[in-house]
Structure 1
Amino acid sequence: MRFDPAKPTLLSALVRHYDELVEHIRRRFGDKGMARDVVHDVCVQLLEGEEKPGVHSPLAMLRKISTDTAVSRYRSDRRRVAWVEAVAELPEVACPGATPACRHETEREFQRLVSAIAELPPRCQAVFVMHKIHQVPQAEVAERLGISLKTVEKHLRLGLAACRQKLGRDEVQA
């Protein structure tokens, strides 16, 4: 962009009205340092961008650009502060390490569950593994195995009952 002093531009209007723009942003947002930063950002935008031809009221345009830039900066700062505050509330350790006894019991329970699934009849085992382990929808399980949806539901009930019994959880859990 070439600067032509005879032709008023947004950049020349910004230079002429710098203090007024800073005061306009300070009144709206209450921070003179932030207002200066915003007006400087607008100056950089104008230097990097193309000149807007046919601007009838450069000061009004600069106020609008400055206000929009200030709002964006304010929102960005608020998000950053909220994120920092949220992170500050997190505990140093998200989850304490499992004790050896807890890990051992979990491994034993897992082995009982694997054993329960392995003892299921082949069709029941296939339905149970497809739906519960691989998360295939019941309708798709029925289609893949060539059985009805009711049969899939029956096999799932039988599989769950066998797993509960093997784990010693005969009561129904939500």
Structure 2
Amino acid sequence: MSCDPTKPSLLSTLVRHYDELVDHVRRRFGDRGFAREVVHDVCVQLLEKRDKPEAHSPLALLRKISHDQAVTRYRSDRRRQAWLVERPALPDAVSLAPAPAQQYEAARELDLLVEAIGQLPERCQMAFVMHKIHDIPQAEVALRMGISLKTVEKHLRLGLAACRAHLDYPQDGQ
């Protein structure tokens, strides 16, 4: 390849007509930042090529190269965007889970309740667990245990009083 010193090189033409090439790409693709990136890419390509093509009209060739580079880049960006999955922004929500201190306190209270129920007399404990823990109606508890409804109510009052006392809760009427 012969170098004619009277003909300007593509790289020197690009430097002289940089703004014009950017405007050429911007007019077709609408974004000045995109256009600058394309012209910079063309410049890098020219710097990296060992055999630079000779052109009768270097500016026209640079416009064509820039346009082709812009089309390639635009298509590549569109394909990449098609693969991206839009995810909605996560809302700024406060966790409804109890704090560790609350979890510890609840576990401590549960242990105290289990201890209080365990200290009840056997029949009182049975009535209390069936009604309060297993949610069995008082009438059915009375039927299953073979005792009167009034006795079930008495066992429940005693059980609640023992649990409150064990947890240091104030008693009713105090």
Structure with higher Rg: it is 2
TM-score (norm 2): 0.45
TM-score (norm 1): 0.45
